[in-house]
Chain A
């Protein structure tokens, strides 16, 4: 009987403290009010969310969008994590994998399999490329959930967005992928391969804006939810997490699939070569 009383008492204390903290926070918010509503109009908030025109961050004597800082941070964190995994986990890999090893192998195998399916003739390079792109898009999109703060040139504090929510990041990703496909076509099939890939000249634009638009839509919905005071409790957390997770998975999948399919088409042997290679 005594043993039962202890958890009940602890639970009661926890509930009291939890509700007290919530009450204090609500009171503080009500007392202080939301200055944001007065500072920026909805139009300004949305415009800044899309274009990052006003909130710039200083970098090496120049001003850049917060998305670029996010990109550097994500890259740094991913490289350090990869290095730690390489030094600590990979040497301890076993024939029968543990949970972490299975997760890593699943990730590598997922992109290798995608490369094999969509580009059966040349798989080595595209597999590594889409592994890197998928990892970057997935973790870059999740990155905005951490809300890491940076100081703008105007002295404001802004939460660092996903790298690909910056149109420059999305364009870089789209054009780089297109350049990679063109280069592979040229190397493998010569000018024919190059021109075959070039006919899909809309690819980089569509890739870039698909990434940018998809990530931006989530960001705008979250901004809208935050903008409204009445909706700024509980709901933003759910909306933000759900949108972010969905975008992270969907955009990583979409870009890697498209990249591998177009790469596969570019490096596919021409009809003559295929006839020649037939036994």
Chain B
């Protein structure tokens, strides 16, 4: 053959390469490619899961924010209502306290008036007794039957005057 071409050697070269290609494919290429594709799949799965988690996170966040907003609105409404209720209750208490205070004051004034009258009555009685005592003392010292009768008359007149003024006042 020209150019030193030898068919047998060409075939031997082919056989040699076929053995090499098969061996390299089975021993090295396929395992490495399998490893790469498995890792790729793992990474893609992980990325998909991350995406899913991110979406879930966003959904939960939105839900939480919505709930928070609703809760805040509810809280604000409740606070307003509570403030209104508190104001009503306070007003009621104040009104009832005022009424009670007014009643207490009125009763106290009434009691005070009664007490004053009692005091005045007792004072009049005491004064009368004192006056009688003093008069008795004076009479015992300077008493004559005429003078005694005169004094009694004067006292009775005076007592009648006072009793008449008191009845008028009542």
Contact = CB atoms under 8 A, between A and B. Distances in A.
Chain A complexes with chain B? yes
A168 B10 contact: yes
B13 A71 contact: yes
Interface in A235-276: none
B156 interface: no
A244 B16 CA distance: 22
Contacts, number: 116
B133 to A, nearest CB: 125
Interface stretch (A36-44, A80-88, A141-149, A152-160): A80-88
A31 B86 CA distance: 123
A128 interface: yes
Contact of A175 (B14, B18, B28): B14
Interface string A123-158: 000011101110110000000000000000000000
Interface stretch (B1-9, B57-65, B77-85, B144-152): B1-9
Interface of B: 3-6, 8-14, 16-21, 23-25, 27-33, 35-36, 39, 42
Interface of A: 51-53, 62, 64-65, 68, 71-72, 74-75, 78-79, 82-83, 85-86, 90, 93, 95, 104-105, 108-109, 112, 127-129, 131-133, 135-136, 163, 166-169, 171-173, 175-176
B32 A105 contact: yes
A45 to B, nearest CB: 15
B16 A71 contact: yes
Given A65-B9, A68-B9, A86-B27, A167 B20 contact: no
B19 to A, nearest CB: 6
Which of B4, B6, B27, B28 has the most chain A CB within a 10 Å cutoff?
Answer: B28
Given A105-B36, A136-B17, A172-B14, A128 B3 contact: no
A129 B13 contact: no
B24 A82 contact: yes
Contacts of B21: 128-129, 132-133, 136
Which of A71, A85, A133 has the largest count of B CB atoms less than 10 A from its CB? A71
Given A68-B9, A83-B27, A167-B3, A172 B17 contact: yes
